[in-house]
Amino acid sequence: MWHRFVTGARVEPANDVTSTRTSPSSLVPAVPEDVVCACCALTKPVVIAHVVPDADALGSMLGVALALTRDGCTPTASIPEGCLSQRLTFLVELANVPVATDGDFENADGFIVLDTAKAPRCNVGKKRHETDWVKGRPLINIDHHGTNTKFGTTNWIVESASSAAELAFRFIVEAGRPITPEIASLLYAGISTDTLGFSLPTTGASTFFAAGKLVEAGADVASLGEKLGRSQTQSEFDLLRVIYANTQRTKDKRVAYSFATGEEIIAAGCTAADIDDQINVPRSLDGVELAMLFTEGHKGKTRINFRGSGAVTVVALAGEFGGGGHAQAAGAILDCGVKEAIAKVLPRAEEFIKQFE
């Protein structure tokens, strides 16, 4: 299977590069042929990721769109107004992929959705969600969330994969498309951020294989590190002040949480699109095994980010509140303000973690 080329250089496979084992340390299973065929058959696809897209969502979406751009295929990317965080707009500028218009959605011959567990999470805009925007056309669903509902007409779900960007890398190579330096940077951004700098349990041999090949293909590691980790705007910095100030721990120190009300987010100069990595503030405290971040990005709606450490998994806890995600990184949204959300979720979290003693 791995006889394709990356920027003209032959990709040399590891001995078991097509391994179908699914443990976190194994290589990602081979790309199903029907996924490659379904994507490459499209000529006017709209490529989509999840709402409030992070670097993995944007990197995989834009990387695939760029890779499929060729004579006879003109992909567009779904980027509704107001969905981008300040920190990640550079990825869209780097890709320079046309943003999907209403006409593009109407004329599309299919859709490719990455890093999205459920159909309602597709980042197509609120108004479009109220319509049958798919209209019976092919939808290829490529994802690494264990709670994926397999809503596509073709699905490739690999829970053991480190990131959607790692899956996108495998797809692009198997589709025989060259990986340009721009594509390499987009995918590397997704892999490195979704693994927290290659430090999470889902970081396996396939992750380092993909990252290494992307560096060979021209991924600008230094620039990405600067923009993703050391280039906060003043408003993002001010929001972090709020998160640090609001961080609290439970009596047994195993659970930590923080929050930001709608007023605090606005006062910092941020929006709901800027909420994501701040969960790492309560998560970073020594001894914390379950971290939560409560943010009211939209009035009357509180988003909850859950993170687990060590043996603690959080996807089941998120599921109790209508959410989902990965084993140790999940989320949910409650139709209430921050204080009410904390009152509902915190007692359950304290009870939930007891099963991991």
Q: Total domain count for the chain? A: 2
Question: What domain range is 222 assigned to?
Answer: 5-228
Q: How much is the pLDDT for 357?
A: 83
Residue where one domain finishes, among candidates 165, 193, 228: 228
219 and 314 share one domain: no
Element (H, E) at 344: helix 338-352
13 and 84 share one domain: yes
210 and 276 share one domain: no
pLDDT in tens, 126-178: 999 999 999 999 999 999 999 999 999 999 999 999 999 999 999 999 999 99
Cα 195-196-198 angle, rounded to 5 deg = 55
Percent of the residues in the chain that have a pLDDT greater than 90, as a whole number: 87
> pTM for this one?
0.85
The pair of structure tokens assigned to 144 is 């690494």
Residue where one domain finishes, among candidates 182, 200, 228: 228
Exposure on the CB side of residue 246, measured as CA atoms within 13 A: 22
Is pLDDT larger for residue 47 or for residue 14? 47
pLDDT in tens, 284-293: 999 999 999 9
β-pairing, 76-77 vs 45-48, is parallel
User: CATH no. for residue 256?
Assistant: 3.10.310.30
* pLDDT over 50 at 26, yes or no: no
- What does residue 250 show for φ and ψ, rounded to 5 degrees? -80, 170
Strand order in the sheet with 45-48: 76-77, 45-48, 110-114, 139-143, 154-157
Residue where one domain finishes, among candidates 172, 194, 228: 228
53 and 105 share one domain: yes
Q: Please state, in angstroms and rounded to a whole number, the distance separating the CA atoms of residues 355 and 357.
A: 6
299 and 341 share one domain: yes
211 and 274 share one domain: no
Which residue type sits at 130? E
220 and 260 share one domain: no
User: CATH no. for residue 159?
Assistant: 3.90.1640.10
pLDDT in tens, 73-129: 999 999 999 999 999 999 999 999 999 999 999 999 999 999 999 999 999 999 999
99 and 215 share one domain: yes
179 and 324 share one domain: no
Q: Please state, in angstroms and rounded to a whole number, the distance separating the CA atoms of residues 77 and 58.
A: 9
190 and 68 share one domain: yes
Q: Please state, in angstroms and rounded to a whole number, the distance separating the CA atoms of residues 334 and 341.
A: 7
Going by pLDDT thresholds of 50, 70 and 90, the confidence category of residue 229 is: confident
- Give the other-Cβ count within 10 Å of 254's Cβ: 20
Instruction: Provide the 3-class DSSP secondary structure of residue 340.
Output: helix
